Amino acid sequence: MRVGPETPAVVSGGASGLGAASARALARRGAPVTVLDLDAGRGARLAGEIRGLFCAADVTDPEAVADALDRAAAAHGVARIAVACAGIAPAGRTVDRDGRPHDPGLFLQVLAVNLVGTFNLATQAAARMAAGPGLNDDGERGVVVMTASVAAFEGQIGQIAYAASKGAVAAMTLPMARDLATAGVRAVAIAPGLFLTPMLEGLPAEAQASLGGQVPFPARLGKPDEFGALVVQVAENAMLNGSVIRLDGAIRMGPR
């Protein structure tokens, strides 16, 4: 599927970080992009920069996601590329140093945003793709790109909620691809390692360098543009389907 004006895209969590990089990468190829986010200021600025559309949407609310996709379709046509990047990563141990169990409300919040939010965008977007015409000789109608994490496989201390949410995203990728195969819609997840996202940008330069030095090669933090480039490659390579692609410089995370 060629990324271009005939392949509208939606990106959740698109106002910053990996989502913003994905939105920019798709827009550079000519795709009309709708940015979904709760940060109206950043989202609207980015949409203006890439000549796209901003829709405020809480990904944990399926009706809000459906409304945003309808608005995106009215402006650009039905999205053929859906990129789920909305996520949060609060820390919390199973039992903290004071002997208190992990906050169940926080655990559910992480699952709601990272897992259910991804599910909401993927299912709502895929249903709209499946109802449309094929785009090429393969009968391809679209692709869903989800964001997992290396924490899905090597969750660190304090990442029980985050790792569980990202592990679930990884686990639903293959059955989703199988479910959607007859509709000509693909599903792929990207599992990034240590990337220079807003969460890490707040760290001192020496801390960033220390983290980057843990990556075998290249020995640095990943650049969001490298994530965005892979999103475009996934969209354009029809044989990428049902896979979780690690984008991590060969790092395997230790306990800390």
Domain of 234, CATH number, reads 3.40.50.720
pLDDT reported for residue 201? 79
Q: With respect to residue 175, please indicate whether it lies within any of the assigned structural domains.
A: yes
Q: What whole-number distance in Å separates Cα of residue 58 and Cα of residue 106?
A: 17
Q: For residues 16-38, give the mean pLDDT.
A: 98
For the ranges 66-80, 86-100, 188-202, the lowest mean pLDDT is seen at: 188-202
- E strand or H helix that includes residue 75: helix 62-76
Q: For residues 58-82, give the mean pLDDT.
A: 98
Q: For residues 93-117, give the mean pLDDT.
A: 97
How much of the chain exceeds pLDDT 70, in percent? 100
Structural domain harbouring 83: 9-193+224-245
Residue 230, by phi and psi: left (phi above 0), alpha (psi -120 to 50) or beta? alpha
Q: For residues 87-109, give the mean pLDDT.
A: 96
In the sheet that holds 33-37, the strands lie side by side as 53-56, 33-37, 9-12, 81-84, 142-147, 185-192, 244-247
Q: For residues 161-186, give the mean pLDDT.
A: 98
pLDDT reported for residue 49? 97
Q: How confident is the model at residue 194 (pLDDT cuts 50, 70, 90)?
A: very high
Q: For residues 17-34, give the mean pLDDT.
A: 98
Q: With respect to residue 203, please indicate whether it lies within any of the assigned structural domains.
A: no
pLDDT in tens, 30-59: 999 999 999 999 999 999 999 999 999 999
Q: With respect to residue 199, please indicate whether it lies within any of the assigned structural domains.
A: no
Say how many domains are in the chain: 1
Q: With respect to residue 254, please indicate whether it lies within any of the assigned structural domains.
A: no
Q: With respect to residue 51, please indicate whether it lies within any of the assigned structural domains.
A: yes
Q: How confident is the model at residue 200 (pLDDT cuts 50, 70, 90)?
A: confident
SS3 content of the chain, % helix, strand, coil (to 5): 45, 15, 40
C-alpha distances out from residue 48 to 54, 65, 187, Å: 8, 21, 29
Q: With respect to residue 79, please indicate whether it lies within any of the assigned structural domains.
A: yes
Q: Are 146 and 189 in contact (CB under 8 A)?
A: yes
Tokens 């809000």 appear where?
A: 64
- E strand or H helix that includes residue 101: none
Q: For residues 148-164, give the mean pLDDT.
A: 96
Q: Is the pLDDT of residue 204 over 90?
A: no
Q: What whole-number distance in Å separates Cα of residue 168 and Cα of residue 187?
A: 14
pLDDT reported for residue 99? 96
pLDDT reported for residue 210? 82
Q: With respect to residue 255, please indicate whether it lies within any of the assigned structural domains.
A: no
For the ranges 101-105, 141-145, 177-181, 194-198, the lowest mean pLDDT is seen at: 194-198
pLDDT reported for residue 110? 98
Q: With respect to residue 101, please indicate whether it lies within any of the assigned structural domains.
A: yes
- Catalytic positions are 162
